[in-house]
Amino acid sequence: MTGSPDEALIVNGVPWFDTDGRPVNAHGACIVEEGGAYYLFGEYRSDDFNAFIGFSCYSSTDLVTWKFERIVLPQQPGGLLGPDRLGERVKVMRCPSTGRFMMYMHTDDRTHTDAWIGLASCDSIAGEYTFHGALPFEGAPLPGWDMGTFQDADGTGYLLLHEGDVFRLSDDYTHAEEKVVSGVAEGGESPAMLTHDGTYFLLFSNKTSWERNDNYYLSAPAITGPWTSRGLLAPAGSLTFNSQCTFVLDLRLDGAVVHLYMGDRWSFPRQGSAATYVWQPLTVDGDTLTLGSYLPSWSPRTGAPADLAGRAAPLAFRSNRAGNAAEAVFTGHRVAVVGDSDERGGYGRVEILDGERGQVLHSLLVDFYSKAPDHGLRYVSPPLPAGRKVVRVTATGTYPEWFDKARHRYGALDAFVTTTEVIDLG
């Protein structure tokens, strides 16, 4: 199926741009539906350092066109979210009993040795949230790092933690009231939950630092269990289509509920510009949950796969030498770049130039690395002025690389940038 030029499609694994043309910067995210709009909350990341800047909020009516609202919780003067601290995995729920919007997050120091679950709140969904410190449990601050949240149909709120612990929140969502599940996913992180026809599902990734891995899930007839391991979400070796789960959103399409898997493609250290997103419909059959076949692009209006419509032209380029570049001419308002990512891929810079004056209209760093090889869309531009333009792809000679706390190395083995074609999207 080919989408019409004006059809709003979710395009996976490429940078997304907000209505101001800036990258959508909201990682480890969640979505809250409120007042006929979707609100995306996430970590506002930097390319320069791994520390808490703030949590961002974007709004959309179609899950594709995102408007930046504000940094809803900025760095604090001190304390758990003060300078040189971490703030991750932000999740927001509207408390039914109070009407307030409650925010939860992992707070830590930069050595990951001072981990606590934090709490903030606000009267309006996109206002500036007030940070309250650590979430209490049994009169003491609750420790924890990777976390998620889940709101059941009756309004009960739950906090999901690494290793498979689940806490029921108080009626006003201000503290954890009861630990209802303990340790059902040893070694699991980045938890997410959904329910379908009376069955509950818990999603986790394995611990591989910023690297992607084969995420897995469990199911149970009730949140309290018993929980049964069910296997992988996606085909083995696909590394969950090169992503890590962060949240599941219930979409209502033609009277039916479609569960939307939301995942991150981290890109350390260039998280602010080069990290991307993988959002895919989940398929549920009894106690089986799967991502099925990977959808490079699809319509959130229908839930069906749809290709970007345009005219393709070759752009055969492969180089790991800094400064080597390839160009192609196009005339449409948007352009896409198709290429390969693999273990030897690095960072490339994609630039859009005015075809007459040579002025740079847009420039972004793009990640061509993935541990599981992939051929497909690497970049789709924001809307551009009319007229003749040039898309230029340049090898930077740099690549993603990082080390975990045990000094194990992760990341690319080289700095190749590989493209095969461009698509003039008209």
Say how far apart CA 139 and CA 255 lie, in whole Å. Answer: 43
Q: Are 273 and 280 in contact (CB under 8 A)?
A: no
Tell me the per-residue pLDDT of 62-117, one tens digit each, with 9 for 90 and over: 999 999 999 999 999 999 999 999 999 999 999 999 999 999 999 999 989 999 99
- Domain 10-298 is in which class? mainly beta
* pLDDT surpassing 90 at residue 266: yes
* pLDDT surpassing 90 at residue 232: yes
Say how far apart CA 151 and CA 141 lie, in whole Å. Answer: 22
Say how far apart CA 308 and CA 280 lie, in whole Å. Answer: 16
Q: Nearest 5 degrees, angle CA 401-CA 240-CA 204?
A: 95
Work out the pLDDT band at 254, boundaries 50, 70, 90.
confident
For the residues 204-223, what does the mean pLDDT come to? 97
For the residues 377-386, what does the mean pLDDT come to? 97
Indicate where the chain has its CATH 2.60.120.260 domain(s).
311-424
Say how far apart CA 312 and CA 305 lie, in whole Å. Answer: 19
Chain centroid to CA 64: how far? 14
Which pLDDT score is estimated for 255? 81
Two tokens at 235?
């085909």
Q: Are 30 and 149 in contact (CB under 8 A)?
A: yes
Average per-residue pLDDT in the chain? Answer: 96
Work out the pLDDT band at 49, boundaries 50, 70, 90.
confident
Tell me the per-residue pLDDT of 145-180, one tens digit each, with 9 for 90 and over: 999 999 999 999 999 999 999 999 999 999 999 999
Q: Which whole-number Å values give the CA distances from 143 to 107, 140, 325, in the listed order?
A: 9, 9, 49
* pLDDT surpassing 60 at residue 215: yes
**Per-residue three-class SS string for the chain:** CECCCCCCCEECCCCCEECCCCECCCEEEEEEEECCEEEEEEECCCCCCCCCCEEEEEEECCCCCEEEEEEEEECCCCHHHCCCEEEEEEEEEECCCCCCEEEEEEEEECCCCCCEEEEEEECCCCCCCEEEEECEECCEECECCCEEEEECCCCCEEEEEHHHEEEEECCCCCCEEEEEECCCCCCCEEEEEEEECCEEEEEEECCECECCCCCEEEEECCCCCCCEEEEECCCCCCHHHHCEEEEEEEEEECCEEEEEEEEEECCCCCHHHHCEEEEEECEEECCEEECCCCCCEECCCCCCECECCCEEEEEEEEECCCCCEEEEEECCCCEEEEEEEECCECEEEEEEEECCCCCEEEEEEEECECCCCEEEEEEECCCCCCCCEEEEEEECCCCCEEECCCCCEEECCCCEEEEEEEEECC
Domain 311-424 architecture: Sandwich (2.60)
Say how far apart CA 136 and CA 118 lie, in whole Å. Answer: 9
Whole-model pTM over 0.75: yes
Percent of the chain topping pLDDT 70: 98
Work out the pLDDT band at 308, boundaries 50, 70, 90.
very high
* CA distance from start to end of the chain: 18
CB neighbourhood size of 314 (10 A): 12
Which pLDDT score is estimated for 1? 32
Indicate where the chain has its CATH 2.115.10.20 domain(s).
10-298
